[in-house]
């Protein structure tokens, strides 16, 4: 899901960052938000609705909606769309599953 080549834009090589999501090893890149790294790894279910238990995905990307709130390094309700990825982060959501969409 990451754009690596473009006819006009040039992309710099970025350092790889290792983190875990619900206990599974993932990689992201320097400068990624947690949410962007999760989407790049195929994670599309971030949370679930309170009333109907329906899955919620990456939605607003500006910290307003709360769909991307997760537990990061044991701190609850971190806005993953606004938080930069760091080496060794432990990210968990309330679904406690890893479903990678093809």
Query: Does position 102 have pLDDT exceeding 50, yes or no?
Result: no
Four-point Cα dihedral 10, 13, 14, 20, nearest 10: 110
The residues, ordered by sequence, that sit 6+ positions from 16 with a Cβ below 8 Å of its Cβ are: 27, 28, 29, 30
In the three-class reduction of DSSP (H, G, I as helix; E, B as strand; rest coil), residue 40 is classed as helix
For 16-68, the pLDDT digits (tens) are: 999 999 999 999 999 899 999 999 999 988 888 878 888 888 888 788 887 88
* Residue bearing tokens 């006009």: 8
Domains and CATH numbers, the chain: 16-92 (3.10.20.440)
């Amino acid at each position: 899901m990451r754009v690596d080549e473009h006819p006009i834009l040039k992309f710099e090589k970025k350092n790889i960052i290792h983190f875990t999501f619900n206990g599974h090893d993932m990689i992201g890149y320097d400068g990624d938000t947690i949410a962007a790294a999760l989407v790049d790894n195929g994670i599309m279910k971030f949370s679930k609705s309170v009333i109907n238990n329906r899955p919620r995905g990456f939605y607003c990307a500006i910290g307003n909606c709360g769909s991307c709130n997760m537990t990061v390094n044991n701190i609850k309700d971190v806005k993953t769309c606004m938080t930069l990825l760091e080496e060794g982060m432990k990210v968990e959501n309330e679904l406690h599953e890893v479903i990678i969409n093809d």
